[in-house]
Amino acid sequence: MFDVSEVRKDFPMLQNKMMQNHPLVYLDNGATTFKPQSVIDAVTGYYTTTSCNIHRGDYDLSFQISSEYENARKSVAQFLNAEAKEIVFTSGATASLNQIAYGYGLKHLQKGDVILTTEAEHASSILPWFKVVEQTGAVIEYIELTEKGELSVENVRKALHEKVKVVVFAAVSNVLGFKNPVKEITRLAHELGAVVVCDGAQWVPHVKTDVKDLDVDFMVFSAHKCCGPTGIGVLYGKYDLLEDMEPVVYGGGANARFDACGNILLKHAPAKFEAGTPAIEAALGLKAAVEYLQKLDMDNIEAYEADLKRYAIEKLKELDHLMIYNAEASTGIIAFNVKDVFAQDAASYLNSQGIAVRAGNHCAKILVQHLKTSETIRASFYFYNTKEDVDRFVEACKNITVENCVGLFF
Ligand SMILES: Cc1ncc(COP(=O)(O)O)c(C=O)c1O
């Protein structure tokens, strides 16, 4: 196991950062994460030493940066246990999910086909499929969630039938943090010939990912949620499926040739999905991020966060005025509310104590209906959070009352 006090030294944002005159306790890692110095150096290193375009120039500097960019792809492939040609760089998980829905869904789905998903999905995962439904006549069906909002293998089995062509779900829910049984769901979907699209935005940063073992057809994530830069994400796809998918964006670098009649010969994947100049510096930053995570070891990260979550839940359970929605979820997300206090007001109170959390529906607008609340407060940990952070958070939670929240505004 790593030494968290040593780990924290790698993050400039964790060095004496204050918020509202308190040392910052950052518990919004589900939204985005801080970057270690090695990632920052990789990004700035591009601008200071190798700042030119990839796959275009006929000079040494361009050859060098092209090969560094492709090395980033190899590092991500190794991180996921995939092959480099199966890794497409996009601008983020949202772009990856849109590419799959429009590129695969529009091409392959027909009237009456079923896209099976859950009510817990993030808008970026589900909205593109709503648009596919409009254009193809396919329909969306929902796998029933358990009362607690979990995705059970049993309910997946019940929901699957021969018209299901695509199964779309988050490996970890961004609201409740339940770790879904990805491998079992994928096996069941494959028995009926359905393609599995797995939203790994909240899984890949926290859990060791082996796409070959999970056998998912597509898996996506954003670099910024796992210590990498914003502006870059990953679309993993089995190579045959990538070759069979249409790009959403067309342009330079993605075609082998085209003519005046509009005939386009695309390059093979992944190049055919990467038209235009990509976020080169972000790819180098992502490489540094996955290398950083691998050094800490993803199994250590998962175990550390689970321990932090257990520690927090034990303490929070003692507070009668808190309603916790996901005490059993093993990842580092805590979804809760405070009796008689609006989630936003509670988050503002925590802010006044130097604690950063998020309140709202977390882009999962259907799930909140299932939870019978319009909003929740989400505290989300990463491996650089400490038990001291949790103690500060719990102490502040003790004092979230209507009076204290009103006091913020008057
Ligand atoms: C489960 C899930 N899917 C997709 C996304 C979209 O990620 P991004 O905004 O980085 O594209 C998020 C972001 O919060 C998420 O939590």
Strand 333-338 relative to strand 322-324, pairing: antiparallel
In whole angstroms, what is the distance from residue 200 CA to residue 150 CA? 16
Do 9 and 53 have their domain in common? no
Spacing, Cα 201 to ligand 1 middle (Å) = 5
Residue whose pair of structure tokens reads 């985005």 in the numeric block: 32
Q: What CATH number did the domain enclosing 210 receive?
A: 3.40.640.10
Q: Would you say residue 216 lies in a domain?
A: yes
pLDDT of residue 333: 97
The pLDDT score that the predictor gives to residue 372 is 80
Given 198, 363, 397, 405, the catalytic residue = 363
Q: Is 405 a catalytic site residue?
A: no
In a domain, 227, yes or no: yes
Residue 327 lies in a domain: yes
* Cβ proximity of 282 and 274 under 8 Å: no
Same domain, 214 and 335: no
Ligand 1 atom at shortest distance from the alpha carbon of 230: 10
User: Based on the domain organization, do 108 and 180 belong to the same domain?
Assistant: yes
Looking at 279, 295, 311, the residue that finishes a domain is 295
How far does the centroid of ligand 1 lie from the alpha carbon of residue 321, in Å?
A: 30
* Structure confidence at residue 110 (pLDDT): 98
Distance CA 221, CA 235 (A): 7
Domain end call among 295, 327, 353: 295
Determine, yes or no, domain membership for 82: yes
Ligand 1, atom 2, lies closest to the CA of: 201
Would you state the pLDDT for residue 180? 96
Residue 321 domain boundaries: 4-28+297-409
- Kindly state whether residues 401 and 274 are assigned to the same domain: no
Question: Measured from the CA of 97, which atom of ligand 1 is nearest?
Answer: 4
User: Could you give the CA distance from residue 94 to residue 12 in angstroms, rounded to a whole number?
Assistant: 28
Please tell me whether residues 225 and 312 are part of one structural domain: no
CB 234 within 8 A of CB 79: no
The answer on 314 and 213 residing in a single domain is no
Residue 115's identity, in one-letter code, is I
Ligand 1 centroid–CA 124 distance in Å is 6
Answer whether residue 254 is part of any domain.
Answer: yes
Kindly state whether residues 102 and 237 are assigned to the same domain.
yes
What's the pLDDT at 362?
A: 67
Burial class (CB in 10 A: 0-12, 13-18, 19+), 300: middle
Q: Are residues 24 and 58 in the same domain?
A: no
Q: How far is CA 295 from the centre of its chain?
A: 20
- For 145, which DSSP code? P
Helix (H, G, I), strand (E, B) or coil at 9: coil
Could you tell me if 114 and 14 lie in one domain? no
Last residue of a domain, one of 260, 295, 330: 295
Q: Are residues 21 and 126 in the same domain?
A: no
Q: How many domains does the chain have?
A: 2
The single residue listed with the structure tokens 């796959």 is 55
- What tokens appear for 218 in the block? 């597509």
Residues 210 and 244 in one domain: yes
Atom 9 (ligand 1) nearest CA: 94
> Is residue 164, in this structure, part of any structural domain at all?
yes
161 and 276 fall within a common domain: yes
At 360 the pLDDT is 87
Pocket of ligand 1 (CB under 6 A): 92-94, 122, 124-125, 170, 174, 199, 201-202, 222
Report yes or no: 326 and 177 within 8 Å, Cβ to Cβ: yes
Residue 335: CATH number of its domain: 3.90.1150.10
Cβ atoms 287, 72 nearer than 8 A: yes
User: Contact, 198 vs 169, CB < 8 A?
Assistant: yes
Local structure of 41: helix, strand or coil: helix
pLDDT in tens, the chain (410 residues): 999 999 999 999 999 999 999 999 999 999 999 999 999 999 999 999 999 999 888 999 999 999 999 999 999 999 999 999 999 999 999 999 999 999 999 999 999 999 999 999 999 999 999 999 999 999 999 999 999 899 999 999 999 999 999 999 999 999 999 999 999 999 999 999 999 999 999 999 999 999 999 999 999 999 999 999 999 999 999 999 999 999 999 999 999 999 999 999 999 999 999 999 999 999 999 999 999 999 999 999 999 999 999 999 999 999 999 999 999 999 999 999 999 999 999 999 999 999 999 998 767 777 777 778 889 999 999 999 999 999 999 999 999 999 888 878 77
- Whether residue 145 is contained in a domain is answered as yes
Q: Evaluate whether residue 125 is within a structural domain.
A: yes
